[in-house]
Amino acid sequence: MTGKLTFDDLKSRVKDGLIDTVLTVFVDMQGRLMGKRFHAVNFVETSFKETHCCNYLLATDLEMATPDGYASTSWQSGYGDYIMAPDLDTIRPVPWLDGTAMVLCDVLDHHTHAPVPHSPRAILKTQIERLEALGFQAKMATELEFFLFEKSFEDIRKSGFRDLDPISGYNEDYHILQTTKEEGVMRPIRNHLFAAGLPIENSKGEAEAGQEELNIRYAPALDCADHHSIAKHAIKEIAWQHGHAATFLPKWHKDRVGSSSHVHQSLWKGQEPAFADPSRPHGMSQIMEHYMAGLIKYAPDYTYFLAPYVNSYKRFAKGTFAPTKTVWSVDNRTAGFRLCGENTKGVRVECRIGGSDLNPYLAQAAMLAAGIKGIEDALELAPATTGDVYEDANAADIPQTLRAATETLRGSAFLRHAFGDDVVDHYTRAAEWEQEEFDRVVTDWEIARGFERA
């Protein structure tokens, strides 16, 4: 059983008793799969058309709290319903769960049946349509970095998140010996996802003890975001099945390297790479230069979509491969944007700013919007920076805190034009709430530092 399923494939598997459960899910603001487990017979007979969910699901935080301040939903409006409309082009088996398939849904307004504008999948689809109107298609790849731990989520939670022993004892960057010891978890992750129709390229050890990377072959932007969300979910679920925890928290320890999600991007006209032009420097087309200039100019505006939590900003530190400067470089890992595949058909830009906690739909949509703006305004690309960009005083910084990123998001005329005021206001509120929640907490650090000595 490999690859995506047509609706007819699903129906025949249900009839043959091979599939009894259909996970009917959408992606929330945090990039998580939310939804219901349908009996497969019910799904293929009726629920394939639509199902419903409470509209608070696109207005909660990680803990499912119901913050005030959202225009789209509230206690006052009674927290009504959304329609979950299955996208029947996304049916796939879930080989790591018995007898199970999955379908991704679009989220629609209960009354008008129009897409809910702040739904992450709708936001990305809108930018893909804007790009299409300019005559281009985007292909993207997101790298997934995460840490595996010896213990399970349950044991770690019971220990108050203190028993955090990574699965390996040393930095395992590209190590075959150490990663062999982790094959009990990583091999099923690769193979199950491959069988679910994700074009898995490889996994490798990353530059810290217990740190892993999964690479998925680049794909049209919407597919890439779907792949990322399914893979992230599967990694946690398969790790859990094997008694381990996997975390995508960007910085789980102050002395350990953080986890990123680099995003590779290229534009195409049909089968032709619109970024490639062998007659120009680095083999980069004029369109690519404009696109990159937009990405770089507007990075402070959309940093929130690459780093949505307080913890996300702990990852940005000198000398850690997590960039803090919105400049570009050729094959240099200290800049926010890296040119890859120089002078080849595969010439592309990699954004290195995003953390492992980014929502791929929102991150890709924001970057497409910035690239589109660069093309529309024919922005000029500044020369590449060289050397250690961390030490380059002339290079512009991205916001260094969630508070700062919230304000650049709120004030972004470019994002308000590209996404609409409602969407920007919605995510600004999500960002504010995250900060408000953090500000309410008295941390262990403050107590240890000041209890006796203050």
Binding part of the chain for ligand ADP, among 139-147, 156-164, 175-183, 443-451 by CB under 6 A, reads: 139-147
Distance CA 366, CA 263 (A): 12
Provide the Cα torsion 7, 127, 269, 332; round to 10°.
-110
- CA dist., res. 231 & res. 196, Å (int): 10
Least distance from C-beta 93 to ligand ADP, angstroms? 23
Q: Which two tokens stand for residue 325?
A: 């400067």
33/216 with CB nearer ligand ADP: 216
**Which part of the chain contacts ligand ADP (CB under 6 A), choosing from 16-24, 37-45, 190-198, 263-271?**
263-271
Nearest residue (CB) to ligand ADP, 199 versus 420: 199
Q: Does 266 bind ligand ADP (CB under 6 A)?
A: yes
Stretch that binds ligand ADP, among 108-116, 215-223, 278-286, 441-449 (CB under 6 A): 215-223
Cα-based distances in Å from 412 to 359, 398, 428? 19, 14, 11
Is 190 a residue that touches ligand ADP (CB under 6 A)? no
Quick one: 229 exposed, middle or buried, by C-beta within 10 A (0-12, 13-18, 19+)?
A: buried
Considering the rule CB under 6 A, would residue 264 count as an interface residue with ligand ADP? yes
| Phi-psi sector, 276: left (phi>0), alpha (psi -120 to 50), beta | beta
Distance set, CA 25 to CA 35, 37, 289 (Å)? 4, 8, 38
Pairing mode of beta strands 100-109, 92-93: antiparallel
Contact present, 230 and 224 (Cβ < 8 Å)? no
Per CB under 6 A, the list member of 29, 53, 141, 423 interacting with ligand ADP is 141
- The full length of the chain comes to 454
Q: Is the dihedral of CA 169, 173, 175, 181 positive or negative?
A: positive
**What gap in Å lies between CA 228 and CA 250, rounded to an integer?**
16
Which sign does the torsion angle of CA 419, 90, 62, 145 carry?
A: negative
- Choosing from 13, 121, 348, 352, the residue that interacts with ligand ADP (CB under 6 A) is 348
- Binder among 11, 139, 297, 373 for ligand ADP (CB under 6 A): 139
Comparison of 132 and 377: residue with beta carbon closer to ligand ADP: 132
Question: Closer CB to ligand ADP, residue 155 or residue 201?
Answer: 201
CA 57 to CA 120: how far, in whole Å? 12
Contact region for ligand ADP (CB under 6 A) — 89-97, 99-107, 264-272, 304-312? Answer: 264-272
- The verdict on 346 binding ligand ADP (CB under 6 A) reads yes
Member of 110, 217, 253, 333 binding ligand ADP (CB under 6 A): 217
Q: Which of 149, 218, 252, 337 binds ligand ADP (CB under 6 A)?
A: 218
Nearer to ligand ADP, 351 or 430 (CB): 351
Angstrom distance (rounded) from CA 405 to CA 431: 9
| Smallest gap from residue 263 Cβ to ligand ADP (A) | 9
Query: Minimal distance in Å, beta carbon 213 to ligand ADP?
Result: 9
Residue 173 is a binding residue for ligand ADP (CB under 6 A): no
Nearer Cβ to ligand ADP (140/398): 140
First-last CA distance in the chain: 63
Q: Cβ neighbours of residue 451 under 8 Å, at least 6 residues apart?
A: none
Q: Is 417 in the site for ligand ADP (CB under 6 A)?
A: no
213 secondary structure, DSSP code: E
Cα 95–chain centre separation: 23
Number of residues counted as binding ligand ADP (CB under 6 A):
12
Which of 338, 408, 374 lies closest to 130, judged by CA? 374
| Nearer to ligand ADP among residue 140 and residue 363 (C-beta) | 140
**143 with 218: CB under 8 angstroms?**
no
Q: Which residues 6+ apart lie within 8 Å of 8 measured at CB?
A: none
Residue 269 lies near ligand ADP (rule: CB under 6 A) = no
373-412: which residues touch ligand ADP (CB under 6 A)?
none
- Using the contact rule CB under 6 A, the part of the chain among 55-63, 138-146, 231-239, 408-416 near ligand ADP is 138-146
What's the closest the beta carbon of residue 217 comes to ligand ADP, in angstroms?
Answer: 4
CB closer to ligand ADP, 18 vs 340: 340
Nearer to ligand ADP, 145 or 434 (CB): 145
Nearest approach, Cβ of residue 234 and ligand ADP (Å): 17
**Smallest distance, Å, CB 422 to ligand ADP?**
31
Print the binding letters for residues 80-119 with ligand ADP: x by CB under 6 A, - otherwise: ----------------------------------------
For ligand ADP, the binding residues (CB under 6 A) are 139-141, 201, 215, 217-218, 264-266, 346, 348
